[in-house]
Each structure stands twice: as structure tokens, then as C-alpha cells.
Chains A and B, each alone.
Chain A
Amino acid sequence: MIETDQLTRCYGNLTAVDALSMRVEPGQVLGLLGPNGAGKSTAMRMIAGFLIPTSGTARVCGHDVVREPTKAKRALGYLPEGAPSYGELTVQEFLQFIVRMRELKPEVGYRRFDEVVHRLQLEDVLGVCIDTLSKGLRRRVGLAQAILHDPPVLMLDEPTDGLDPNQKHAVRQLIDMMARERTILISTHLLEEVHALCNRVVIIANGKLMADATPAELEQRSRYHGAVSFSAPGSGMSQEMLGRLPQVASIEVDPLDGRITVFPKPGERILEPVERLLREQGLEVSEIQLERGRLDEVFRQITTRDGSHANTANGGTP
């Protein structure tokens, strides 16, 4: 479990993290989202015990990161931003160094080493200098380092940054697999990742918590939620007809590909009436889609507007 309590960090006059309070429970994968410079990494560095909070505190598995740093660090596996490691060492030397630093018993250490190396497919590069590895491999070494002691709490700062799609998929599978009994906090600015991984999202901007919800809840806030979009050549006539449907609020046409998006009035379902209308008009529709809502739009909305009234919308998290 991770708890932060009014966690605040200032650099001179700049408040990087501003009274951040949140709680991540076992079994949750929380995605910490925010624009660059929003304070994601600073918040994680404080939870990991690298930076000391200006005020407020954080707890990892009940251990205060300021008062009991060693206990908190033992419970935590942490991948810092950019996955730093000692480049002059080989992968094997580096991971053995971590095993010793984690003070694992030799038999446990060997077993975990083998498991983690196998899981992250590092067998072939064990004897290779980390400096000469590709970015993706280096990130996997960093992940291996973080999960080596099988921690109950895992915190990953942009775990898939710089990976190709296959590697991203592998890392997501790994996180998924580990998620069951663990508490996982990942930071990212990739919205697709939120869909793929997280069952909860916290959005921060300028160090403040702006939203705390599930991905589905966030999507519902999008004006695209429940909208219907389709491509149909020569549908100029039907646009007018669509606009006359009682459930429809507005219609937009993409100027580039001519895709038509029909927005519902609040609380209305419009897929069926739209489909019926199109059929009656005898229009050839190649494909029709019910939109779930667009996270990127919600993200933009939340992180660019003035934060003063944002908190009231997210169900009362301070």
C-alpha cells in the first residue's frame, strides 16, 4: 500500500508537488498522469525516499518514508526515470549487486535472479556491459532490478518509455501479471498505457491532484462519450435528417477524411436511432462505431483549465 499525506515539495519558489494526498491499495494499478513537469517524478522520488518532502509525508506499507526510510525502501521496488544503472558493469554483475544490496538469502537470491532474468528475457545479455545495451534492454534491466526482491509495492517511473511496441507489450504483460496482490504505481504520459494497464488514474498538473477516477469514469467525462461516428460517402443529405433526431445534440464532420460524428444529448443513447435512420436512407456505411470517450481530450481538459473547480468534479478527493 502507498499513502501520501499532504505531500509537498518546493524548489525555491516553485512548488513541484502541492499537498498531494492519495492512497493506492493492493491489487490496484494506479496510473499517475500529467503533462511534463507536473510533478510526477518528484512525487515518486519522495515516496521512494530519494527526496525529502518539504512538508507532509508518505507511507509505504505503513512505514513512514522519512522516519523509517529503510523499512519503507525494503517494501518498495522502484524504477527511477530513465532506468539508471551502472553502465560499466555487466547485466549479471549489476543484478548481483542489487541482490546483495537487498540482503536476500543466497538461495532466495539465486532463485529470484533466475526467475527475473527469465521473465525479462535477459539470458542472452547477462555477460554484456550495460553501456552497450539498447535502450529497450537497459529499461528491462532496470525493471529486473526493481522486481528482484519480489516487493509488495512497485513504483515505476515511465516504465515503457523508449520501448518498441513489442517490448511495450511484454512489459505490460509483466506488470499485469504482477498486479494481482501487489500495489503498483506507474507514471506515464501515454494514454494508451492507461487503458492497457491501470484500473485507476490520478491526474496531476502543477503539482496538484486534478482527478482521481477509473479510466472508464474519465472517458465518461469526454464529450465523445456515447457519440456515434461513421464513414459514409455522399451522406450530405442525411446529415440534416440526423440533426432532426430528437436525441441528437450536434453533428461534426472531420474535414480531412469526411468521417461524421454524431453527439447525443446528455443521457441519451443514439446508436440505434442513428443506425435505423441510415438504413432507412439506404446509405452504404462501411463501419459504424460507438465512442467510449477520448482520454486525450479529457486529459487536455483537466490539465489545461484552471484547477480551482476541478476537484469538485472528481467525487470529493481533496
Chain B
Amino acid sequence: MTLPGVVMRRELRSYFVTPVAYVFLVIFLVLAGILTFYAGDFYERGQADLQPFFVMHPWLYLILVPALTMRMWAEETRGGTLELLLTLPITLWQAMLGKFLAAWLFIGLALVLTFPIWITVNYLGSPDNGVILAGYLGSWLMAGTFIAIGACLSALTRSQVVAFILTALVCVLLILAGQPQVLDFFQGTLPRKLINGVAHLSMLRHFEAISRGVLDVRDLLYFLLSTIGWLLAGVLLLDLKRVR
């Protein structure tokens, strides 16, 4: 097993020996179900697709991903295990990658466990399963970006609460960046090009494109690059701690 793999395995093990994993899974699945059927008008729309399901994902991640990632580095810093980890023959980047992969795979598992909704929609009608697959992919990619943000901000502080709040804050800003209300706010104060730039930062915009089944390279790159960028920033933050 490679070193990031070893870290990933230990991290997953920690999820499952503490209640974190089970609490997360239960809340995720229950909320996803409730929001889809009640808030999302799953039946009333009379359409055989999972749009109401995927639309809720950014908001679910907004609450649940920071809870998953807040302990990632903050707890290692506070408990002193950071010293242990970083004096083992592993680079910071490998350690970060291992931790990220653990959280990402875990969210992947949570997504897989939503399969009853997929079965339901296939039972009730004949949806385009390609679009649904694209929706899952987009959701998973978006989760990756959320996790990377959480990983970075968890490296910033030794307090899990601070890590949670900062992560949620950054995520909500990125979700809302493309909303008309936000863009209107900047209208007049910022040049047009910059406003377009802000709109392009929006997660919702890229996620909605993918979940409609439009796999544009630019949307995929947006999630991929921002994930890598946040992870790199986290590694830099950790490195800075060793110098300062």
C-alpha cells in the first residue's frame, strides 16, 4: 500500500470507530430523502428525474462536510499526533492526499447509499440514467471541493469549531457567488469583467451544468483545479506552521 493509502486507511478507521461516520451517514441519508420528497416536490413535478434530489446536495454538504473535515488537522495539532505523523517518513502532500481521499471516499459511500431514490425513480418512470450518473459524478466532484476547503481550513487552526465555521462560511460564499442577488450587490461597484469572474466562481453554476447531464470540460476542471488548489493551500499552511 502506498503511503497516502496508509493514511487514508487509518483515517477511515477513525471515522468508523468513532460515531462520526454513522451520525454523518444517517443524517445525510435522512435529510437527502426528506428534502427531495417534501421540499423538492419530487412527486408533484411529475417528471422522472433526480433534479430535486441533486439540487439539495450543495446545502447538505454545506452543513455536513465541515463537520467531517473540521477534525482533520485541527485534532492532530491539538492532540500532538501531528508531530508523530510528520516525523514518520511521509511528505506533507502525501499525508494531505491520504486524508482527503478518506473523506472523499466516505462521501462517495454516502452517495452510493442513496441508491433507493434511484430505484424509486426507475420504478415510477423511465428516467435518463445517464443524466442521473452525471448528477452523481457532479455531486461527488463538488463534495471533493468542499472537502479540500475543509482540509485547508482545518490546517489553519487547532480549534475544530473555528475550522467548522470558516469552512461553512467559505462554502456558502462559493455556493452563492453566482446568485443574482449577490451579483446585483456588486453591480455598479465592480467592473463588469470582475462580476463575470465572480459568477464563474460559483459552485452552483458548474454543478447544475453537470447535473443536467452536460459534461463540459470547463466544469470538470473547475472542480478538479479548485480541489487541488485548496489542498495545496492546506499543505502550505501546515508547512508554514513548521517554519514559524
**In which size bucket is the chain B interface?**
20 to 34
Report whether B83 and A101 are in contact in the complex, using a CB–CB cutoff of 8 Å.
no
**Which of A50, A129, A145 touches B86 (beta carbons < 8 Å)?**
A50
A-B contact pairs, 17 of them (CB 8 A): A11-B244, A49-B87, A50-B242, A52-B242, A70-B89, A73-B87, A84-B79, A84-B83, A84-B84, A85-B81, A88-B14, A88-B18, A89-B17, A100-B9, A101-B88, A102-B88, A102-B89
A160 CA / B244 CA spacing, docked (Å) = 30
Known contacts: A73-B89, A89-B14, A103-B89. The answer to whether A50 contacts B6 by CB under 8 A is: no
Known contacts: A73-B89, A103-B89. The answer to whether A80 contacts B84 by CB under 8 A is: yes
Q: Provide the residues of chain A in CB contact with B13, threshold 8 Å.
A: 89, 93
Report whether B84 and A145 are in contact in the complex, using a CB–CB cutoff of 8 Å.
yes
Report whether B80 and A82 are in contact in the complex, using a CB–CB cutoff of 8 Å.
yes
Tell me which of A48, A82, A100 has the highest count of chain B C-beta atoms within 10 A of its own C-beta.
A100
Q: Provide the residues of chain A in CB contact with B9, threshold 8 Å.
A: 97, 100
Report whether A101 and B87 are in contact in the complex, using a CB–CB cutoff of 8 Å.
no
Report whether A87 and B79 are in contact in the complex, using a CB–CB cutoff of 8 Å.
yes
Residue of A nearest to B241 (CB): A51
Residue of A nearest to B87 (CB): A48
User: 20 additional contacts, CB 8 Å, given A49-B87, A86-B81, A98-B88?
Assistant: A45-B83, A50-B83, A52-B242, A52-B243, A69-B91, A70-B90, A74-B89, A76-B87, A80-B87, A84-B79, A84-B81, A87-B79, A88-B14, A93-B10, A101-B3, A101-B88, A102-B88, A102-B89, A103-B3, A129-B17
Taking the nearest CB of chain A, how far is it from the CB of B157, in angstroms? 18
Interface residues of A, Cβ cutoff 8 Å to B: 11, 45, 48-52, 69-70, 73-74, 76, 78, 80-82, 84-89, 93, 97-98, 100-103, 129, 145
What 1/0 flags go to B70-83 for Cβ under 8 Å of A?
A: 00000000011111
Residue of B nearest to A10 (CB): B244
Taking the nearest CB of chain A, how far is it from the CB of B217, in angstroms? 36
Known contacts: A70-B91, A100-B6. The answer to whether A49 contacts B86 by CB under 8 A is: yes
Report whether A97 and B6 are in contact in the complex, using a CB–CB cutoff of 8 Å.
yes
Taking the nearest CB of chain A, how far is it from the CB of B68, in angstroms? 15
Taking the nearest CB of chain A, how far is it from the CB of B138, in angstroms? 33
Taking the nearest CB of chain B, how far is it from the CB of A158, in angstroms? 13
Q: Provide the residues of chain B in CB contact with A52, threshold 8 Å.
A: 242-243
Taking the nearest CB of chain A, how far is it from the CB of B98, in angstroms? 10
Report whether B89 and A85 are in contact in the complex, using a CB–CB cutoff of 8 Å.
no
Q: Provide the residues of chain A in CB contact with B84, threshold 8 Å.
A: 80, 84-85, 145
Report whether B17 and A50 are in contact in the complex, using a CB–CB cutoff of 8 Å.
no
A80 CA / B84 CA spacing, docked (Å) = 7
What 1/0 flags go to B1-19 for Cβ under 8 Å of A?
A: 1010011011001100110
**Which of B1, B7, B18, B88 touches A73 (beta carbons < 8 Å)?**
B88
Q: Provide the residues of chain B in CB contact with A100, threshold 8 Å.
A: 1, 6, 9
Known contacts: A52-B242, A84-B79, A84-B80. The answer to whether A89 contacts B87 by CB under 8 A is: no
Tell me which of B1, B13, B83, B87 has the highest count of chain A C-beta atoms within 10 A of its own C-beta.
B87
**Which of A78, A88, A97 touches B87 (beta carbons < 8 Å)?**
A78
Q: Provide the residues of chain A in CB contact with B90, threshold 8 Å.
A: 70, 101
Residue of A nearest to B81 (CB): A84
A73 CA / B1 CA spacing, docked (Å) = 19
A130 CA / B14 CA spacing, docked (Å) = 12
